[in-house]
Chains A and B, each alone.
Chain A
Amino acid sequence: MNISNRTYYMVGFTAIAAMVVVILAYGAYNGFEFAGADDQGGDAISEIDPSYEPWWDGIWGSYELPGETESMLFALQAAIGAIIIGYAIGYFHAVDKARKGKLPNRQ
């Protein structure tokens, strides 16, 4: 099995993109809201054991983070991860180049 990297990435990303589009289209057709599974888990607990009361609201209490702020913090988390991955790929790339003597000399 000797597929070139470029082909492999293209097939991979295309497959992922296609999958997300199909899922969203299926959702649009059925009117899905795509609510978080974690919250649904909480609701299911209330259904399965109606006598159960959550015993702590957490440090934020009953205050619910504004949707915008929550998206911002999730984006921040993704950005932290992505910047490290990007740094590592760039570093590997530069090390290989330097080893082949292809890095431009500093003036």
Chain B
Amino acid sequence: MHIMEGYLPWQWCLVWFAIALPIVFFGINKITKIIRENPEQKMIVALSGAFIFLLSSLKLPSVTGSSSHPTGTGLSAVLYGVSCTAFLSTIVLVFQALLLAHGGITTLGANIFSMGIAGPAVAFVIWFALRRAKVSVPVSMFFAAMLADLVTYVVTALQLTAAFGGAAGYGTAFIDFMTIFAVTQVPLAIVEGAIFSMFAKYLADTRPQIFGLEPKYEGAASA
């Protein structure tokens, strides 16, 4: 989903920065507050961020013949919401833009928006809808993480269509970008959903209170 350095007209860079930055700053505040008020949450925050680090570094092959990254934002999105995830994604995206020449500083705002805001927002909504419908934690997490991943790439395609559709027609441009980003991503999103589902099962069994569940046995009461 990384839009490469220089590959977004500067007006669009500004637009995405203007939308993303306030949310990132809000996220910084929120995370600082969470850790200050509940120091025992530090481990879970680090864990959520670590998943973004780990999964977004893996370039996986896909059926379309290209490779792409999972996003790893599912856990953070369902536990801490959109703004915190936006902040954690920013750390990863800056790391990749500066050291890996992957993504870019000028396109950072757009990349934060797709990976840290749009995807996690959908994951957050789906998670609460499924949990409210009494769907189990691992299954809800599967769909939340899968959609966080997939929506990120759909939004990247939309961002590029908005910026470049004028030249060739928005319809063709959208289909082109969707083929490159979103279609490639479908199998990877399913893999990501499966990974998070397994981890959510582990957490639900050993630290159920993370998901607001009752501990099943004595001794699992706190993290």
Interface residues of A (CB under 8 A from B): 1, 5, 8-9, 12-13, 15-16, 19-20, 23-24, 26-27, 30, 32-42, 44-45, 47-49, 51-52, 54-60, 64-65, 70, 73-75, 77-78, 80-85, 88-89, 91-93, 95-96, 99-100
Known contacts A9-B201, A27-B65, A60-B101; 9 additional CB pairs below 8 A are A32-B66, A35-B67, A36-B59, A36-B66, A37-B62, A37-B180, A77-B95, A77-B96, A81-B54
Q: Tell whether A64 pairs with B191 under 8 Å between CB atoms, given A77-B95, A99-B219.
A: no
User: Which residue among A20, A23, A24, A81 has the maximum number of chain B CB atoms within 10 Å of its CB?
Assistant: A81
Interface residues of B (CB under 8 A from A): 1-7, 9-10, 43-44, 46-47, 49-63, 65-68, 72, 92, 95-106, 136, 138, 156, 160, 164-168, 172-173, 176-177, 180-181, 184-185, 187, 190-191, 194-195, 197-198, 201-202, 205-207, 219-220, 223
User: Which residue among B55, B65, B172 has the maximum number of chain A CB atoms within 10 Å of its CB?
Assistant: B65
User: Which residue among B10, B51, B62 has the maximum number of chain A CB atoms within 10 Å of its CB?
Assistant: B62
The answer on a CB contact under 8 Å between A73 and B4 is no
Expressed in whole angstroms, the minimum distance between the Cβ of A35 and any Cβ of chain B is: 5
Q: Tell whether A55 pairs with B10 under 8 Å between CB atoms, given A9-B198, A96-B220.
A: yes
CB-defined A-B contacts under 8 Å, sample of 19: A16-B194, A16-B195, A19-B191, A23-B63, A35-B65, A38-B103, A41-B3, A41-B156, A48-B172, A49-B168, A51-B167, A55-B6, A55-B9, A74-B57, A77-B53, A77-B95, A81-B50, A83-B50, A96-B220
Q: Tell whether A85 pairs with B177 under 8 Å between CB atoms, given A34-B67, A41-B160, A77-B57.
A: no
B96: chain A residues at CB < 8 Å are 77
The answer on a CB contact under 8 Å between A92 and B206 is yes
User: Which residue among A33, A48, A57, A83 has the maximum number of chain B CB atoms within 10 Å of its CB?
Assistant: A48
